[in-house]
Amino acid sequence: MKIKKLIALGLCAAMVSGMTVAPVFAAEEATEDAAETEDAAAEEEATTEDAADPAAQFEGLKANEAYEFPMMVKSFQSTYWQAAVEGMQKAADELGVTFTAQGPNSESDIADQVNMINTAIAAKPVGMGLAACDTSSVTDALKKCAADGIPVVTFDTGVADAPEGSVVAEVVTDNAQAGAVAAENMYAAIKDVIANAEGQVIIGEVNQDATAQNIQLRGAGFINKMIELIQADGKTVAVAGNEFYVNAAEGADAKEADADVVIQVAVPAQTTVELCSTEAQAILSKENCIAIFGSNQVAAEGVLAANANLNVLGSDAAAGDVIGVGFDAGSIIKAAVQDGTFLGAVTQSPLMMGYYAIYALTAAANGDEVSDVPTAGYWYDATNMEDEEIAPNLYD
């Protein structure tokens, strides 16, 4: 900002000194032009800062009333959602509002969550937070919210086809970016194995479902980045397994039988660690499996449960270890990263997603315009888990 101001003033001075016989208004116009340049530069800088920090929109926010918000989580099955609720409570205490966190027993209990949502809407709240187990299941509920003037803030999972006017903001991880971060760090560990392989190798991916948008984007983000990296080193890739992820893959250039690398994608029938473990065991049991990714806490814990029987995971691909990468945190995943069973993992910040969801709802209830708050995924391994940028996101 100061540099731009000095440039503008310098131009103004040059114009004045070079026009000594010109009318006085010429200097005045130059001064006005410089002021306009300065104002434009300031406006551009403010816009850039706001874009870089979407949370800046909440600076100085106060609740006009003691609002109460129903907050629909996917379940309390994992500590991830407990961390999100902790973030909600922090924001509620700061703003003087209250909330009620509700969720089904399992993220697979889609009908139960829909019933909870409909009950909450019937009470006509001033706003509602929503992390949908299945985004296609909430369409009618969101239509009702739009009709009744109930602003909805989605968190953790967006709703891509939300009815117009229903969702006022999303507070979600950039899941495609987060999946790509997992792929980049995994590939660095396995690229030499791929380069020197005499036959086909397999990279596994276990996703807990193919219905929630956050898992869809994350799983596809991993696959697409891995395809890009493998092809850049001259190898061919095929994607096999779950139909959704096969169809979502971008750039796969070979049939499964002919590819140098096959990305094998598995999705269990229900969202449980046990069923994710079964899917992971089927992949890890293949002799040519060199790596595997569990794309959320449940899936990553399933991969670790599978390894308890097989004992193939490790952090040294050159020594023959299968490279495991997880997602999210929790004590089981953190321990696996610390002892080298997992190479590392990518964490979100459920605490901050819950926190900003309450802030966004409060702003919406006040009648303010609200914009999305995207959050990044961060790589962590045994070397950086205590760093101040990482440690707060590693919930138990």
Domain identity same for 71 and 198: no
Are residues 164 and 214 both part of a single domain?
no
Q: Specify whether 182 is located in the same domain as 321.
A: yes
Q: Is the pLDDT of residue 267 over 60?
A: yes
What is the pLDDT at residue 238? 98
Q: Is residue 233 located within the same domain as residue 292?
A: yes
Per-residue confidence at 83, pLDDT binned at 50, 70, 90?
A: confident
* pLDDT reading at 6 higher than 80: no
The verdict on residue 316 lying in a domain is yes
Which H or E run includes 249? Answer: none
pLDDT at 79 (0 to 100)? 80
Burial of 162 (0-12, 13-18, 19+ CB in 10 A): buried
- Return the DSSP state at 60: T
Residue 378 covered by a domain: no
pLDDT at 54: 74
Confidence of residue 363 (pLDDT cuts 50, 70, 90): very high
Tokens of 348: 């979100």
How many domains would you assign to the chain? 3
The burial class, CB within 10 Å (0-12 / 13-18 / 19+), for 47 is exposed
Judge whether residue 45 has pLDDT over 70: no
Q: Are residues 149 and 235 in the same domain?
A: no
Same domain, 21 and 80: no
Over 80: is that where the pLDDT of 10 sits? Answer: no
Question: Quick one: average pLDDT of 225-242?
Answer: 98
- Tell me the pairing of strands 344-347 and 378-380: antiparallel
- Two structure tokens written together for 378: 């961060």
Q: Is the pLDDT of residue 169 over 80?
A: yes
Residue 77: CATH number of its domain: 3.40.50.2300
Q: Pick the range with the lowest mean pLDDT from 66-75, 79-88, 239-248.
A: 79-88
Contact 69, 127 (CB under 8 A): yes
| Rounded alpha-carbon distances, angstroms, from residue 339 to 162, 190, 298, 301, 334 | 43, 19, 19, 15, 9
**Which stretch of 40-54, 126-140, 313-327, 345-359 has the lowest confidence by average pLDDT?**
40-54
- Confidence (pLDDT) at 375: 83
Instruction: For residue 155, tell me if it sits in a domain.
Output: yes
H or E, element range at 183: helix 175-196
Shared-domain flag, residues 277 and 261: yes
Amino acid (1-letter code) at residue 139: T
Given this model, what pLDDT does residue 35 score? Answer: 47
Q: Does residue 131 share a domain with residue 83? A: yes
Domain presence at residue 99: yes
Q: Which of 293, 327, 361 delimits the end of a domain?
A: 327
Please check whether residue 215 is in contact with residue 369, taking contact to mean a CB–CB distance below 8 angstroms: no
Residue 53 is predicted with a pLDDT of 77
- In tens, the pLDDT along 112-145 reads 999 999 999 999 999 999 999 999 999 999 999 9
CA 270 distance to own-chain centroid: 22
80 vs 259 pLDDT, higher one: 259
pLDDT in the model for residue 272: 95
Reported as a pLDDT band with limits 50, 70 and 90, residue 52 is low
Same domain for 204 and 108: no
Same-domain check for residues 251 and 182: yes
Residue 185 included in any domain: yes
With 90 as the cut, is the pLDDT of residue 343 above it? Answer: yes
SS3 for 320-383 is CCEEEEEECCCHHHHHHHHCCCCCEEEECCHHHHHHHHHHHHHHHHCCCCCCCEEECCEEECCC
Q: Are residues 166 and 104 in the same domain?
A: yes
The answer to whether position 56 is within a domain reads no
Domain that holds residue 293: 176-327
Residue 61, pLDDT > 50, answer: yes
Name the nearest CA neighbour of 131 among 109, 112, 113.
Answer: 113
Same domain (yes/no): 322, 308: yes
Query: What percent of the chain stands above pLDDT 90?
Result: 77
Torsion angle, alpha carbons of 227, 347, 112, 71, to 10? -130
Residue 38 has pLDDT above 80, yes or no: no
- Within-domain flag for 294: yes
Q: What is the mean pLDDT of the chain?
A: 88
Report the pLDDT averaged over residues 32-51.
Answer: 46
pLDDT of residue 150 exceeding 80, the answer is yes
User: Quick check: is 135 in a domain?
Assistant: yes
The band of 287, judged by pLDDT with boundaries at 50, 70 and 90, is very high
